[in-house]
Structure 1
């Protein structure tokens, strides 16, 4: 169990769950305080995004419901990181004494939260891409296709699937099939989203003229702005989570070669990137959405940040 390995000061380059420490020459040590600081900042940011979407009725639409769920997915990473780091720091300084059984249960909970986060994040990125696709190419029928009830059903299905899959992944974490499933899911969702975006950006110009001629409105421009926002989110997700999934792939292909062993030793850096993803996402929401940015300023003026 990765977390127990840390507490017991053992080394393992094949861990894929919680944080680990390595003593190889390639090892990169990152202060636990940095994990804690980044985790707290990203947690506050994502809480503000969720509160802003709940507070502003203008943001009560399927796309922002999905974005709200994406923020909750990021919060799972932040909460798991903060809890894990606090326990590590208290254990290191002798302020907390826990039994191996407690550590095992804690590690399982943290791993389930992290796994649920990546599965749900990928699922909601795909869902948002599909929502933007419908908005652009089926604008006249969008409200009949993507109803609030249907959006809520999709959200419930994604969370149920994510949590169930995560529990199964952790229960059978020692099986190679688990890593294969995670990597395959990552690749499939990226291909699906990329195909939708390519189709959107190739044909959007033609459709924009047709829809503008009918609507005489800015709906199409807004839809494309939403598509661009989600493209940025997807790019950031790939950059931040990519090294972690490469780590999983190398575990399957070359677990003992010098290069792979050295690569594994940078696992803590990959975790920092994952936390940075949950920290950067809210900044993208706020920068790309004037309505959300306005609501966040109002929350700030009410002292919610403090």
Structure 2
């Protein structure tokens, strides 16, 4: 969190591009080559954050409202939306405090500001950890539903699913707290990097295996119908879906974790210092992932889309009734 008149973003313990940061990890006066970080205006953070917030709130409300969506698969999707909601909400909160401090509307003592900064950092770090964890949980759930279809309901029971959900939330909260508390320890950064690589590896292995299985299934169908085009179209569709799933995850999260990796490998190297100056861009990519996740994992469900339409329709009717009531009172 910035002091009045200073520009500083969340995760200041990692953002080594500003000499005014409260948590100084990497001295930036070591840079000897000209480099310019990608400027990200506060308005862009606000716009993307609000869009993500609205999207994920809609997903959570729809899943809670529709009892047909009260299944382990949608539990994971709902918690993913809740994690992304927290990522966006904490970023919005940080931006609002930044603006209020700069406009002198909000005045806080340095110790209080430091504590607030730590709370927001823990919130966003924990929600990012939970978001990645639920992406991995969704991949495992889909893998079981395909390869163990007949035993799926006996393997993924509501009780076990709830246990996994609680475990992810608790471990994410603890991880976020430890990370912010011991941000300057290399072991902590290595743990975070290892966590990302393990989740990436898990998703790559599971989704590629599912893709291979889908291709084999399409090949058998093509042989039965003696249509080679069916097989080709199925492979193409599966390849596109796989590329979208893994590509978006990698593109949105890899720059941030590469930032962590460079903090370990070359914290004082000029080239690495130039990369550090794009930290705000990496946060924007994470928020973009929170916007895209509902499109991939939630809005593709016809049942969920139907519930969303009902929720939007009910809210419009309620708002219209309020307007009519106000007019009658006047």
- Report the TM-score range of the alignment, normalised by the length of the smaller protein: 0.7 to 0.9
Q: CA 1:7/1:272 → structure 2, altered by over 3 Å: closer, same or farther?
A: farther
Correspondences of 1:88-167 after superposition (within 5 Å): 88-167=98-177
Task: Render the CA deviation track for 1:43-76: whole Å, top value 9, x for unaligned.
Answer: 1111110001111122111111101000111011
Matches within 5 A, 1:151-300: 151-206=161-216, 232-300=244-312
> In structure 1, what is the equivalent of residue 51 of structure 2?
41
Q: Distance in 1 between matches of 2:238 and 2:179?
A: 33
Deviations 1:169-197 (A, max 9, x none): 11111111111110011001111121111
SS at match of 1:288: coil
Give a deviation string over 1:103-161, Cα, whole Å, max 9, x none: 11111111111211221122111111111111111111111111111111110111111
Q: Please tell me whether the aligned partners of residues 255 and 261 of structure 1 are also in contact (alpha carbons under 8 angstroms).
A: yes
The alpha-carbon deviation at position 284 of structure 1 amounts to 2.7
- Structure 2: give runs of 5+ residues left out of the alignment: 20-27, 29-33, 221-236, 320-330
Between the aligned partners of 2:169 and 2:240, the Cα distance in structure 1 is 25
Contact 1:136–1:204 (CA<8 Å) still a contact in 2? no
Q: CA deviation at 1:303?
A: 2.0
Structure 1 runs of 4+ aligned residues shifted over 4 Å read: 14-25, 205-210, 225-231
Contact 2:4 2:104 in 1 (8 A): no
- TM-score, structure 2 as length reference: 0.79
Superposition CA RMSD, Å: 3.0
Q: Which residue of 2 aligns with 1:79?
A: 89
**Number of residue pairs matched by the alignment:** 289
Partner Cα separation in structure 2 for residue 204 and residue 72 of structure 1: 30
CA distance in 1 between counterparts of 2:259 and 2:206 reads 27
Q: 1:200 Cα shift?
A: 1.6
Give the TM-score normalised by structure 1: 0.84
Q: Is the 8 A contact 1:42 1:279 kept in 2?
A: yes
Q: Distance in 2 between matches of 1:227 and 1:154?
A: 30
Matches within 5 A, 1:20-39: 25-39=35-49
SS for the counterpart of 1:27 is coil
Is the contact between residue 132 and residue 227 of structure 1 (CA under 8 Å) also seen in structure 2? Answer: no
Contact 2:60 2:81 in 1 (8 A): yes
Q: Indicate if the aligned counterparts of 2:13 and 2:180 stay in contact, CA closer than 8 A.
A: no
Please tell me whether the aligned partners of residues 214 and 238 of structure 2 are also in contact (alpha carbons under 8 angstroms).
Answer: no
